[in-house]
Amino acid sequence: KNQVEQSPQSLIILEGKNCTLQCNYTVSPFSNLRWYKQDTGRGPVSLTIMTFSENTKSNGRYTATLDADTKQSSLHITASQLSDSASYICVVSSGGSYIPTFGRGTSLIVHP
């Protein structure tokens, strides 16, 4: 069964600090992996997309990594801001299905 596990479930950090969120998946065959940011009361918004051959991709202060061998991805946030407070969801698409598999998300709170 295709699964996406995220850790930690929640995280509290101080403004300006860095943090790393983890995603492990068992989706097969792998097509791509996206990280979404979901603000409270809003729909998810895509931050990055990574395919099998990509190891690292950046979007401003967000950097995603992918290890397709170990089926792990991480999202690193640099110099966090209050506006980074949100849920971050890892989503993995399979080549055999048009329905992606969603993780439960990591809830990030950035305190001033």
Partner 1 sequence: GAGVSQTPSNKVTEKGKYVELRCDPISGHTALYWYRQSLGQGPEFLIYFQGTGAADDSGLPNDRFFAVRPEGSVSTLKIQRTERGDSAVYLCASSPKTGLEQFFGPGTRLTVL
Q: What single-letter amino acid sits at 80?
A: S
Q: Is 98 in the site for partner 1 (CB under 8 A)?
A: yes
Q: Is 107 in the site for partner 1 (CB under 8 A)?
A: yes
Choose the binding region for partner 1 from 19-27, 65-73, 77-85, 103-111 (rule: CB under 8 A): 103-111
How many residues of this chain bind partner 1 (CB under 8 A)? 22
Identify each DSSP E strand in 39-112 by its residue range: 45-51, 56-59, 62-67, 72-77, 86-94, 101-102, 106-111
Q: Is 43 in the site for partner 1 (CB under 8 A)?
A: yes
Strands 62-67, 56-59: pairing kind: antiparallel
CA pair distance 90, 87, nearest whole angstrom: 10
**Where on the chain is the footprint of partner 1 (CB under 8 A)?**
4, 9, 31, 34, 41-46, 49, 89, 91, 93, 98-100, 102-105, 107
